[in-house]
Chain A
Amino acid sequence: MPRITITVDGIRYEEDVEPRLLLVHLLRERLGKTGTPIGCDTSNCGACTVMLDGRSAKSCSVLAVQADGCDVVTIEGLGADGSMHPMQRAFHEEHALQCGYCTPGMVMAAIDLLRDDPDPSEETIRHGLEGNLCRCTGYCNIVRAVKRGAQEMGQEVRTS
């Protein structure tokens, strides 16, 4: 069984894994990181999106062995010092979640899209989120939240 080293939310793990073990199952069932849920088996829904070496990836479509040596950030590792990430706060403020199942992936995708465009238009946001499905919100408030999160993240950068 291959042994991999992986850093998840700042903690380094060494795990022996079956080659076929999916990254999302490593997170959920080995490491107890159940904040990242699974919504489909064809990489369509995006619920399992995490940051893999700094870019969004669907953890259901990555083998754990492929993530050997990588740095993973999940929704559980986003905030710092017990406070939420500005994007998480923006989702709260704009009521951008209902059942919350898509939320971890959606927040990750939102943060990722700001990397390319820190002040995105509505269209940019909608296309940046095309790989993440939500069944509750109709996306309107998610789009608002991403705009708000972008502003707040921009301000944080400016003030820090």
Chain B
Amino acid sequence: MTELDAGLVGEQIAESGQIAEPTGRGEIGRARRRKEDARLLTGHTRWTDNLQQPGMVQVMFLRSPMAHARITRVDVSAAKELPGVLAAFSGRDFADEQGSLPCAWPVSEDIVIPDHPPMAVSEVRYVGEAVACVVATDRYRAADALEAVEVDYEPLPAVMDMHDALTPGSPKVHESGNKAFSTTITSGDVEAAFRDAPVVIDRTYIQQRLIPSAMEPRAVLASTDGDTFTLWSSTQIPHVLRVMLAVTTGIPEHRLRVIAPDVGGGFGSKLQVTAEEVLCLLLTRRLGRPVKWSESRSEGNLTVHHGRDQIQHIRLAAEADGRIRGLRVELLADMGAYLMLVTPGVPMLGASMFNAIYKMDAYEFACTGVFTTKMPTDAYRGAGRPEATFAIERVMDELAAELGIDPLEARRRNWIRHDEFPYTTISGLTYDSGNYEAATERAMALFGYDKLRAEQADRRDRGDPVQLGIGVSTYTEMCGLAPSRLLGMANYGAGGWEHGSVRMLPTGKVEVITGTSPHGQGHVTSWSQIAADALGVPFDDITVLHGDTAVAHKGMDTYGSRSLVIGGVAVLQACEKVKDKARKLAAHLLECSPDDLEFEAGAFKVRGTGASKTIQELAFAAFTAHDLPEGVEARLDSDATFDPDNYSFPHGTHLCAVEVDTETGMVKIRSYVAVDDVGKVINPLIVEGQVHGGIAQGVAQALFEEAVYDADGNLLTATMADYLLPSAADLPTFTTDRTETPSTGNPLGVKGVGEAGTIASTPAVVNAVVDALRPRGVRDVQMPCTPERVWRAVQGTRGGVRS
């Protein structure tokens, strides 16, 4: 430090002891405890609902009790008279300025994107749609005033069933009809594949509707100073939201700042441009006061977009030895009442994943999006890929059963061998790397596969009322969304990049700014590890800023397991640019050529001499700027935008053993083993946590969760008392391990892990349930595999399908 040529300020900094010594590599791959935790563990949180503003008022929305109705009258006058009430509005009051909630994914030529007013004006199309709002000094007054709003409805027929909806003469959700879009993808000669096929498996599976249920309910706070607007929202996508809100409300983008403060989970449910976000902005514009909305859980179950909800007709043609000839998939996908941000795209995300890890000669995918009078569906953890993986992995088990071979053997005969990568699949994707054999072998060993099979045989022989079932899921998924070059080829402009920047502070501390927007994933920790290794600065000297469009000005946010694969790499590249700048400065200060310098352990060293400059010294030198070379700016700060060439393809093998009580139908998970290959790992602790949570959500789809509407369109699972989320007491410990086949598509070799567990686990569990009961003639149990459904399957009646 003594060499620092510094002024007074510089001396103070230098003497402050703040400037750390550089460190070597070794952060990547280390099980660092998270930087995020301390705040969250001590209650120093910034959930949107925690935020207060001077003069803040609370809005509540009155929601339609009718699934489908014409609004004939809304009278808010009585509500306005109540104490503490500032204003009350109906949809008509916003009709001229509220625009339409956007759908950013027109997936086909024939798509119909109906007008979607944030607050219903003339017609409601699902239970929960906002029809009026009340703004009051606090939420208690607002809740009271909501009761004084009068709404008259003229009921219209609910449209609940997708098959019925497509039947000619069905009541219509929208004037244009109930078909949102249809699309077909064909590759290879499907007819030939099925013609004279020795084995054809033909199944229909129901992907039930799910409620994402992030633990933090949504909340929005909007404020304005009359000129600029700030919106805090519990969102995954502050950047996308900012543009979309500017477009929707007419507030110029440069006067709108969007902040995602602490966000309590999303799982896709906060990948949305919501009615409440738009309306809070309009309200603050109209009232000139900060307006907050805090969702209640029962409100959220009605109005946070739902997930899944598909009917999957899948047919597989195979040779007598089990080798797959071809695959045909026909989907009906329930859109709900409107197309929201990526609603129609969700089933299409699975379009190229039904063929999964298997080789085949022909593939056909057809999908019809259907309007119903329900809450719109949209992204939920995995979005399209869990559905596809479920169908193919279920059918692979059926194929094995048909042939009388072990389900793993059926997969071995068809999967892409590790020496065949990179491999271009029938659906046109190129898988860069993978080793299905290795993951499967490891999983079988951890699981004790042969021993469990022996126990299963024994229980079958003994006629034990508690039968053992073993379920297999050898999955892959497509993540790291998405390569802009390929989007450009399809004439869709940019879209898949991510931004990262690095600010070198005078004291040698580092601010990393990322365009990703974490809400539990631990980006602050992982990005710190990446930057620490790249720059050679201590892990603790790095902070990561995110989730505020005024701080992280560019970004495409967090969803689709993209953050590390795209955003993490962008941070790495920004670090490289910092080093490029630092190298020039170091060469200047050390009076050598940049080529004579090698960067090691956070310092540039002149080859063959002891002279060196640490990155911190260089940051300080750039700050003082007393002695900069010609053409070098007084900063090392850099930014980078990374855009991959391809998706990444994590994979793995999940094995699940269940005990099925054939007398009651109760399913209990006996053991669960997951061996995932997510490429290189930045922080194994975080990766394991993502896998655990993902498995839990996938298991929950298999066994517990279902959003149920009655025939009139009332949601019967509006509270957590009826929408059953598993607690610690309902889940087992998961055994996890990894194999590591680096991705070839990015310099970190990473693949993404956010959705893997969810994608893999659902079919593993259901396969296990069916496997337990197959000797009794059961070949399917509809999800969730409730005790009643399992019991009925055993009884051979409704709820299960027997062969």
Which A residues have a C-beta under 8 Å from some C-beta of B? 18, 20-21, 25, 28-29, 33-42, 44-45, 47, 74-76, 78-79, 84, 88, 91-93, 95, 97-104, 107, 122, 125-127, 129-143
Contact = CB atoms under 8 A, between A and B. Distances in A.
B451 interface: no
Given A20-B140, A98-B522, A125-B728, A138 B696 contact: yes
Nearest to B731: A139
Given A41-B298, A76-B42, A126 B264 contact: no
B731 A133 contact: no
B272 interface: no
A139 B45 contact: no
A143 B731 CA distance: 11
Given A44-B720, A138-B731, A92 B689 contact: no
Contacts of A79: 42
Q: Which of B37, B50, B267 has the most CB of A within 10 A?
A: B37
Interface in B205-222: 213-217
B38 A92 contact: yes
Given A41-B297, A74-B43, A101 B38 contact: no
B520 A98 contact: yes
A75 B41 contact: yes
Nearest to A22: B140
Given A88-B42, A97-B37, A138-B734, A126 B729 contact: yes
17 contacts: A20-B140, A41-B296, A47-B215, A91-B41, A92-B33, A95-B685, A98-B690, A99-B265, A100-B41, A100-B264, A102-B215, A133-B727, A135-B214, A136-B689, A137-B696, A139-B696, A141-B689
B727 A99 contact: no
Most buried by A among B267, B521, B725: B725
A18 B42 CA distance: 29
Among B43, B519, B695, B729, max chain A CB count under 10 A is at B43
Interface of B: 33-34, 36-45, 47, 49-50, 138-140, 213-217, 262-265, 267, 296-298, 519-522, 685-686, 688-690, 692-697, 719-721, 725, 727-731, 733-734, 757
A130 B267 contact: no
Contacts of B215: 39, 45, 47, 99, 101-102, 133-136
A112 B43 CA distance: 18
What are the nearest 4 A-B pairs in CB distance? A35-B43, A100-B40, A99-B520, A101-B264
Contacts of A97: 37, 40-41
B34 A92 contact: yes
Given A92-B37, A143-B728, A35 B44 contact: yes
B155 to A, nearest CB: 27
B42 A35 contact: yes
A150 to B, nearest CB: 15
Contact of A107 (B33, B41, B296): B41
Nearest to A140: B692
Nearest to B691: A138
User: Which among B520, B521, B688, B721 has the highest number of chain A CB atoms within 10 Å?
Assistant: B520
Contacts of B693: 98, 135-138
Contact of A37 (B38, B45, B519, B725): B45
A130 B265 contact: no
Contacts of B519: 99
Contacts of B264: 37, 99-101
Q: Which of A35, A36, A100, A126 has the most CB of B within 10 A?
A: A100
A99 B214 contact: yes
Contacts of B690: 98
Contacts of A37: 45, 47, 49-50, 216, 264
B35 to A, nearest CB: 10
Contacts of A41: 296-298, 719
Contacts of B34: 92, 95
A23 B584 CA distance: 61
A120 to B, nearest CB: 12
Contact of A93 (B33, B725, B730): B33
Nearest to B50: A34
Contacts of A140: 692, 733-734
A39 B297 contact: yes
Contacts of A100: 36-37, 39-41, 45, 262, 264, 520
B144 to A, nearest CB: 10
A103 B41 contact: yes
Given A40-B298, A100-B262, A104-B43, 6 more contacts: A38-B49, A84-B42, A136-B689, A137-B693, A138-B731, A143-B733
Contacts of B265: 98-99, 101, 135-136
Contacts of B728: 125-127, 129-130, 132, 134, 139, 142-143
A138 B37 contact: no
B305 to A, nearest CB: 16
Contact of A131 (B296, B685, B727): B727
A40 B719 contact: yes
A101 B42 contact: no
Contacts of A93: 33
Contacts of B734: 138, 140
Nearest to A18: B140
A66 to B, nearest CB: 17
B37 A91 contact: yes
A127 B729 contact: yes
Nearest to B299: A41
Contact of A133 (B47, B692, B725): B725
Contacts of B688: 95, 141
Given A76-B42, A101-B215, A138 B297 contact: no
A29 B730 CA distance: 34
Given A40-B720, A140-B733, A135 B42 contact: no
Of A84, A135, A137, A138, chain B has the most CB atoms within 10 Å of the CB of: A138
A27 B520 CA distance: 25
A129 B728 CA distance: 6
A44 to B, nearest CB: 4
B727 A92 contact: no
A42 B216 contact: no
A91 to B, nearest CB: 6
Nearest to A130: B729
A39 B265 CA distance: 12
Contact of A141 (B140, B692, B697): B692
